[in-house]
Structure 1
Amino acid sequence: MYFYLGEVQCILPQGQTTPEKCLSNPWHGKGFCEPNQYKAAIDRCEGGHKSCDLGIEIYKDLVKVLENCSESLRQWSLTSQRKIVQSKEFGTTKVTWIESIKAFEKLAERNDDITENIQHNVIDKMIAYKNSKYEKSFRRVIKVKEFEKDFKKIQKSWSELLDKINEAKQEFHHASHKLHQAKQSENVTKTDVSSTDEDKKKAKDNVAHYESVTERRKSTYSKLIKDMKEKQPDYEENMFKILSRTDDFERDRLNQFKSLFGALQEAVSIEKDTRHNEMSDLLKKAIDKYDINSDIQFFNQHYGRETKTKWPVFEDVHE
């Protein structure tokens, strides 16, 4: 419920069953200094704690994926080498093929390095940060509880003032409505030929009564609005001071996340990765052993043109 007076908008505190509670973002579209809107800042702080848990969960999943990948690579290497050994391939081709397969095990070792870096430089640090930053008491983050307590303290008297304003508004509007009805009744009485002087006097007195009531309630209403305008700057300043503290609290978490993102980048960087160079060197050495002419010659020496063919000769019958 709200009303306008010039540029001033007064809003009653929202109940827990209002439609906004069903939305994904109930704080959108409202001013921060309105009743209970400070909960957007509280929700952000609590969301930071949940994001830490989410980050830990996600990167633990990544570690499992990398570990499974390493195991799969090693299993693939063993299986592939076995198949090549059992194949009909020979010579430098066989050697190069097997050694190039072994070289890819460096990918598994590289995954192991990445896994270790993510575990120590991302997950462990995120866990340590979460435990130190979001210390809990009775399932609530202590620092967040402090923010909420300070917001409530500042907003308590302000909410009471808004309640008085809305009550005064209702009384003023009700009195104005009664005055309007009294004036209409007086006009009818004046034009009614059957009305007695007593009826006319009662109608006039009734108008005077509601004029007096309306004026008093208007005065009360106006004074409360004036009082609100006088208190508004200090109220806003105090609310924004606490908001700034929550900003600093959240900024610290975001800086921590930025550091962790940098650690992730460092973990997968190829520039400083020795495994990548080792794999490249092993592949080069394996390929350098590859000698096509040697394999062709080997085949010809043992199975081809350099072997001695036994040609059939005429064999006479010996009795």
Structure 2
Amino acid sequence: MLATTTVSVSFSNGFVGDATKNNEASNSAYLTSLGWSNFQFVQTTNNGLFGGTQGNDYSGTILITDAANVQHRIDGVINWRAPSGNVSTMVFYATGASHTLATTTGTYFIDPYTETNGDPHSFIGLTFNGQTLAISGGKVTGNAATTGLLDTLNTYLANQPQLTVSDVTVNEDGGYATLTVALSKASTDTVTVKYTTQPGTATAGSDYTATSGTLTFSPGQTTKTVQIAITDDALAEGDETFSLVLSDSSFAAITDNTGVITIRDNDVTQSVTGISVGPAVTEGANLVYTVALNVPSPTPVELHPWPKRHGRRQRLRHADPR
């Protein structure tokens, strides 16, 4: 079983409209006609496939980039299919929060469904690449059956080139961590995917340089690399980790969206190697103690004495909380 991650597929078009009745949307428009792009369906998974736990109600997140280039994450449930014959489009009702998306002429309000009878809400359809959907008189109609639709979605996932990102371990003084982003097979389309670093026990700025961008695979290409600068500090921190996360692909699925980078620490843990007492002094004068460390400290160190009668020893502490 795989670790929990996310899996996503991309679509080149679809529709949005008002829920008139079951399996029918009115005032419908193609997503691209509104100036929208980069359509995705995303689910969390532990087996690399799409799934559902509530009968035929398959929930997930729809990603849409609006005409102002703002990405919206819209929760949704697959509710029906269009058209009534061979399926070309999965149709969702929006759930959760409402969303206002910029269009080429103004804005569009996506109204979530509260599952209360008569509640106005929005339908969003995602059309499989290579398929078409007809909108007639602003209406889209379809079939209530979702049986087999999950299998269709997973077949669509399997047929798309699939993006994965590697894990890597690097020494702190190695300079860079290099991760490979790979396509499972060559595509005849230009594939793009965004990436960004996310902190873990390692922190951007002090342990590595925050990095983000977009990878573009020209037709036929199957691998790209991302380099992330690693900071070689003088602190003994132990091994630390952070991640590179993939998102927002076009013309490809994402089946492993997280690459883990492990930084192996190269610094020696500081410790007290000896305490010596200075020459004898007369009563009332200060006795001098000299404390030796095994390695130089990059930050001030405080040594706090504790009463021996309490069973405690002297404690070494950096003034810097790290």
Pick the structure with more helix per residue.
Answer: 1
Name the TM tier (shorter chain).
under 0.3
Return the TM-score normalized by structure 1: 0.21
Larger Rg: 1
Return the TM-score normalized by structure 2: 0.21
Pick the structure with more strand per residue.
Answer: 2
